[in-house]
Amino acid sequence: MITVADLDKLVIKYETPDFIKDDPIQIPHRFSNKKDIEIAAFISSLLAYGSRKQFIKKLDSLFTNIAQNEPLNFIKNFEPGLIGDFNYRFGKPNDFICIFNILKELYNTSEGLEDLFSYGYKQNKMFETVVDYFYSKANQNAGQGFYHMIPNPHNGGAMKRMCMFLRWMIRKPPVDLGIWNFMPASELYIPLDVHVGRISRQIGLLERNANDFKAVIELTKQLKEFCPQDPIKYDFAIFGYGVNQ
């Protein structure tokens, strides 16, 4: 197994502002208003699958050309015609229309995503609460893309993009945004994808073969032994170890 000292060195090397320019977190970093940031971060996390180069290009087009660099205004005043034929892989225009309409209702009737996630956290079922909210508001036009971008935690998947979004929102800069305070960083889960799973097994941090939520729990528990107060900082170390191979 890799040593804690080696992991900590990799965190120091990679958790720097330079990390931002090649990562989807660059999108919410463009904004200074709290609600602009959280909306940009949430939408960016939904599209963070497939080719990093491609989904960052799509996000740039969405926020620059369609949302006019005003995420909150775009959502609160959203009309389906605004997005034209915007799509990304599984996500078709109707899937994005459905998501943006749900966010529109959320932000026009409450304080938005922070309220929703905070309520779920207090109920001790945060992912389920958030997903149930979106599913309860979805219409018949919501297709495969909608359910791919907002997966059902009851299916046992890793919930990688939602874990990543929470890392962005809760952990403090220089890379993460740290604008939400309703939960401590010690309770975050590692964003687990194929790459993180492969590297974690390679360096002796993970035994489970499947990249599911049981693996997320196993890996997060191991990382908590290294740093109980901030285990997910090692997301940067695992990334860095992969880069160095």
Tell me which residue of 22, 16, 20, 7 sits closest to 237, measured CA to CA: 7
Mean pLDDT for 118-137 is 97
167-201 per-position pLDDT tens digit = 999 999 999 999 999 999 999 999 999 999 999 99
Three-state SS letters, 2-36:
CCHHHHHHHHHHHCCHHHHHHCHHHCHHHCCCHHH
What are the residue ranges spanned by the domains of the chain?
4-244
Task: Give me the pLDDT at residue 38, please.
Answer: 98
* Type of residue numbered 168: W
Task: Tell me how many helices (H) and strands (E) the chain has.
Answer: 12, 0
Q: Reply yes or no on whether the pLDDT at 141 is more than 80.
A: yes
Task: Give me the pLDDT at residue 160, please.
Answer: 97
Task: Give me the pLDDT at residue 242, please.
Answer: 75
Task: Check: CB of residue 233 under 8 Å from CB of residue 15.
Answer: yes
Q: What is the percentage of the chain residues whose pLDDT exceeds 90?
A: 93
- For the chain, what is the mean pLDDT? 96
193-240 per-position pLDDT tens digit = 999 999 999 999 999 999 999 999 999 999 999 999 999 999 999 998
How many Cα atoms sit within 13 Å of 91 on the Cβ side?
A: 25
Task: Give me the pLDDT at residue 2, please.
Answer: 86
* Type of residue numbered 242: G
User: How far apart, in whole angstroms, are the C-alpha atoms of residue 62 and residue 141?
Assistant: 21
**Range in 69-73, 85-89, 220-224 the model is least confident about:** 85-89
User: For the whole model, what pTM was predicted?
Assistant: 0.96
DSSP lists the bridge partners of residue 212 as 157
User: How far apart, in whole angstroms, are the C-alpha atoms of residue 223 and residue 19?
Assistant: 21
Return the C-alpha torsion angle 83, 103, 135, 195, nearest 10: 80
Tell me which residue of 232, 152, 224 sits closest to 192, measured CA to CA: 232
